[in-house]
Structure formats: C-alpha cells, structure tokens
A and B are shown apart, each in its own frame.
Chain A
C-alpha cells in the first residue's frame, strides 16, 4: 500500500492569493495525479504530474492557473493561483501502484480550501 500525506489539510484563503499544496508519498510511485472535488460534486481530474517534466492537463485546466511540480518519484505540489470563491474545493493527490497482481489507486486525505 501507499501512504499519502497532504499539506495543508485545510485553509481559508483570500481572493486573489495563491496557495501551494504538497503531496508526499511514502514509496516511489510512477503515476501521480491531482483531482478536484467541488462542494457536493464528484471528483474531476486536473492533471497528471510527470516526474521531471511538465504536467499533463485535462480539458478545462491550464498550467497558469494550476502549476504543478514533481521533482522526484515521491513528491508533488499543486498551486492554485489567483484564487476566487469558485476555487473553493477539496484538492486530492492520488497515486497509482502498478503491480502484476493488480493496480491500485490511493488518495491523500485531501486539502480543503475555502476562498473568501
């Protein structure tokens, strides 16, 4: 299994500011992802965090708004830039462990952001 630590767990942010969320995994993993869960909604994939190169963004998400870093196989950051109340969401880091016995996807506890 993989244990994922996310920081911060919760924050209240001012409109127009930026916040960086950190994701630390206790083992080396190939695949890391960032998801967003808006209030009362399901999860939507923001991007795939690629080690040593630019992230791969899903439709509707752009690097200027959600810059992502992944310097190594156990760590990634997501920045939510120039925040507005619409960015109030849970942001979740996810990793995939690929194994012959079957692939499993794990999630961090999430970072609960409220923008005021």
Chain B
C-alpha cells in the first residue's frame, strides 16, 4: 500500500533561515504528490503539488521537486517568515488508491523573530 514518511518535528528556525522538510514515499503506480499547510486554528490548505516525475511545485516561496529515483518530495523555502509557522503535511494519492490521500504525520514548524 501507499505510505508517506515525513521528517519528525518540531522544527524551530529563526526568521530568514533556510527550511527543508524531508518527505519520502512508497506507492503503487505513479502517484501525485502534495504539500498541505495547516495554520494554527485553521483548516487544511493546499500549498503545492506535483503530478509527475521531475515536476516542481511552487507557491508562496515554497518549492518541492518530485524525485522518482529517490521517491522524495522535500519541501524547501529559502527564507522563512514568522507567518510560515504552521504544521506541514506531505501527502500522496494514486489512481490505484481510488484517489484517497495518504498523509504523513505532519511537521510542526515554528519560526521565531
């Protein structure tokens, strides 16, 4: 079956630091990969996605590249802000899973001024 392994948190950074949150996966077929963000007290928002190998998803300064050879989809941002403090979830789905999402456990990011 499908599974997602995410970097354990919490992650604490200073403002303007570089961020990497690792995500690796196992899946049948050719999955689509997603990063979702959950700000404190809010619901889940799609941050970025990639649907095939070597695709790069990007949004709000965040980037992730779909690496089939390493089965990875690491999230990066060059300079984090206090407002980026949130929980980040890596997720995947494939047609073989009837489009059901499989989530990682989530990584709590705290950015200090």
Q: Which of B43, B44, B45, B101 contacts A45 (CB 8 A)?
A: B101
Query: Does A28 make an interface contact (CB < 8 A)?
Result: no
Q: Are B99 and A105 in contact (CB under 8 A)?
A: yes
Give chain A residues whose Cβ lies under 8 Å from the Cβ of B104: 42
Of residues 48 through 102 on chain B, the ones whose CB sits less than 8 Å from some CB of chain A are: 49, 51, 89, 93, 98-101
Q: Are A110 and B43 in contact (CB under 8 A)?
A: yes
Q: Are B103 and A43 in contact (CB under 8 A)?
A: yes
Closest partner residue, chain A, to B49 (CB atom) = A104
Give chain B residues whose Cβ lies under 8 Å from the Cβ of A43: 44, 89, 101, 103
Query: How many residues from A make CB contacts under 8 Å with B?
Result: 22
Contacting chain B: which of A18-26, A69-77, A89-97? A89-97
Query: Does B25 make an interface contact (CB < 8 A)?
Result: no
Q: Are A92 and B44 in contact (CB under 8 A)?
A: yes
Q: Are A103 and B89 in contact (CB under 8 A)?
A: no
Known contacts A33-B100, A42-B105, A48-B100; is-contact A108 B46 (Cβ 8 Å): no
Give chain B residues whose Cβ lies under 8 Å from the Cβ of A41: 105-106
Smallest Cβ distance from A1 to chain B, in angstroms? 9
